[in-house]
Amino acid sequence: MKLTDFFIGGRQFFGFLIPGVIWLLAFFPIAFSEPLEYSFNSMGFMEIVLFFFIAYIAGAAIESLSFKISVKISAILHHDHVSNEKNDKDYFPLSISPSLINRCRKIAAKNVASSGMINNMSNREFSQYCKLSVIENSATYGSKISEYESEINLLAMLPVPLIIFAISFVLFSCQITSISHLSINNVLISLFALILSILLLYRLHPLRCEEAKWWFHFYLMIEDKIDNRR
């Protein structure tokens, strides 16, 4: 066991903990009829630790669902579509150039004993094949892919809980006061959460498309280098 095992990395912090905190901030007023900030004032140290532990678990549990919803909404915002092929659990963007994919398939088919395996892969499956090949053969390109994934995880994990938080905040505020008497602070907080979620969603799909294209481009670069060595 290493010392780093006791700490959470950037993916866990931005992908699990922060979204989990936002989820709890959203549902706490509905469940307990008071804002979480009021309860924090009476919480002890262990209760606060327990709160963040529950937030981490909640964020991890809902990660997959939040990711899928964000990806689909982001694609709609850009008038694009995402693949619903049987094994395309990450919803491969359909705007990726077919000629680029087919070029990579032809090269991969030459390097694999069974070319039928390559041809039978869905676009998403084949993109993962290219991605793994890049990671295995180039530390430089692999680190670039990791940078893309870190940013994508950040963009994809936050929009859904932010939207739920904004709706929950307004609904709770309406319970304790009429709509006409909503405070400007409540309105601004909700608007900020909605605007931030829209900005994140609008950036998400282009970044995923860019990452997917680089999987194939990096794969072609690596294969060219291998051919030059032969």
For residue 169, which of 20, 59, 27 has the smallest C-alpha distance?
27
Residue at 177 is within a domain: yes
Of 6-10, 114-118, 152-156, the one with minimum mean pLDDT is: 6-10
Share of the chain above pLDDT 90, in %: 6
Give domain status of residue 166, yes or no: yes
Please give the pLDDT value at position 124. 81
% of the chain residues with pLDDT over 70: 72
Neighbouring residues of 12: CB distance < 8 A, sequence distance ≥ 6: 56
pLDDT tens-digit readout, 141-150: 888 888 888 8
Asked if residue 1 belongs to a domain, the reply is no
Q: 62: which 2 tokens?
A: 């809902």
Query: For residue 12, what pLDDT is reported?
Result: 58
Chain length of the chain = 230
Q: Decide if 144 is inside a domain.
A: yes
Number of domains the chain is built from: 1
Structural domain contains residue 182? yes
Residue 2 included in any domain: no
Q: Which of 41-50, 129-138, 170-179 has the lowest mean pLDDT?
A: 170-179
Task: Flag whether 135 is in a domain.
Answer: yes
Mean pLDDT of the chain: 76
pLDDT band, residue 41 (cuts 50/70/90): low
The answer as to whether 76 is a domain residue is yes
Buried b (16+ CB within 10 A) or exposed e, 101-128: beebbebbeeeeeeeeebeebebbbbbb
pLDDT at residue 4, rounded to an integer: 34
1, burial (CB in 10 Å: exposed 0-12, middle 13-18, buried 19+): exposed
Can you tell me the distance from the alpha carbon of 154 to that of 16, in angstroms, rounded to the nearest whole number?
A: 10
SS3 177: coil
Structure tokens at 91: 């919803």
Query: Residue 93 gets which letter from DSSP?
Result: B
Higher per-residue pLDDT: 214 or 122: 214
Question: Which residues form the domain of 84?
Answer: 7-229
User: How many degrees, rounded to 5, is the angle at CA 17 between CA 148 and CA 6?
Assistant: 90
Question: Residues 178, 182, 184, CA angle at the centre, nearest 5°?
Answer: 175
Half-sphere exposure of 118 (CA within 13 A, CB side): 17
